[in-house]
A = this chain, B = another copy of it.
Amino acid sequence: MEIGLVGLGKMGGNMRTRLRDAGHTVVGYDRNAELSDASSLEDMVGKLPAPRVVWVMVPAGDPTRETVRTLRDLLDEGDLVVDGGNSRWTDDQENAALLAERGIGFVDCGVSGGVWGLKNGYALMCGGSAEDVAKVQPAFDALKPEGDSGFVHAGRAPGAGHFAKMVHNGIEYAIMQSYAEGFELLEKVDLVENVTEVFDSWREGTVIRSWLLDLLVEALKEDTHLDQIAGYAEDSGEGRWTVEAAIDHAVPLNVIAASLFARFTSRQEESPAMKAIAAMRNQFGGHATRTAPPPGGDAS
């Protein structure tokens, strides 16, 4: 098929390659002219045969929203936009409605796979009408991994795909935290002498073998005590949205929320909450509290 692809960063660029390797014609557009196949969004649209399919792969939020609005003006009735970025499912509902006003179709697609996707394929979770999804299916087939898994049409309403991907990421946070807590405990005890070997041994025959475990073992083999890595983790929107969605539906999400909070904590130089704890202890018990350290100093 012929397909437009907006956003040729690390993810978009690799996806273009994988689509072309599968024999599809991709007209890519990126603000960076060196990466781009077209001089503008308008130029890209002009190079595609109608009915057109344009896959948007730009950051979630305003960049995606603006791209969708621009495409709404450039595309015609019967064309189709795919949002393959990390949009919140509620954005999909707004974007789909905007495009529907002009008779333009919409499919949202959560994409997992990171830098490994080019070689192994991307896991795809999409939402949209069966008709719209069918129009993109050749591209989905090229992008997904080879086996029976790796693609799902999660629901017919816009946002179903991104919702499924969002929950995937929430689960991912908690699984990572699970291994991380186990790692910390093993590192702290003297009884277990080689933590890397223990994790490596778990890769076969255990209940907890997984791809994330494989990755952690790779990291430990490079840096046994992770001395070169700071104990600091960003969070993307999906983890936050997962907890918010759970709250909306009264779903208790203890471990996913705790995993998200652990990332928040990891980014704090000092915890205001723990200052309050220390202040109360100081008031009631004459417990020794440390005064705040000089800048750059050691608070523990």
Binding site for B on A (CB under 8 A): 10, 89, 112-117, 120-125, 127, 144-145, 147-157, 159-160, 163-164, 167-172, 174-189, 191-194, 197-198, 200-213, 215-216, 218-220, 223, 226-235, 240, 242-287, 289-293, 296-300
Contacts and interface: CB of A to CB of B under 8 A. Distances in A.
Given A184-B271, A262-B271, A265-B265, 16 more contacts: A112-B207, A113-B206, A155-B191, A163-B191, A164-B186, A180-B272, A180-B275, A181-B253, A212-B284, A215-B283, A220-B279, A234-B281, A252-B271, A254-B258, A258-B258, A266-B300
B252 A255 contact: no
B215 A256 contact: no
B198 A125 contact: yes
Contact of A123 (B159, B180, B206, B292): B206
Given A216-B276, A266-B274, A185 B167 contact: yes
Nearest to A117: B205
A169 B284 CA distance: 13
Nearest to A156: B193
Given A123-B205, A205-B144, A232-B289, A262 B269 contact: no
A175 to B, nearest CB: 5
B278 A231 contact: yes
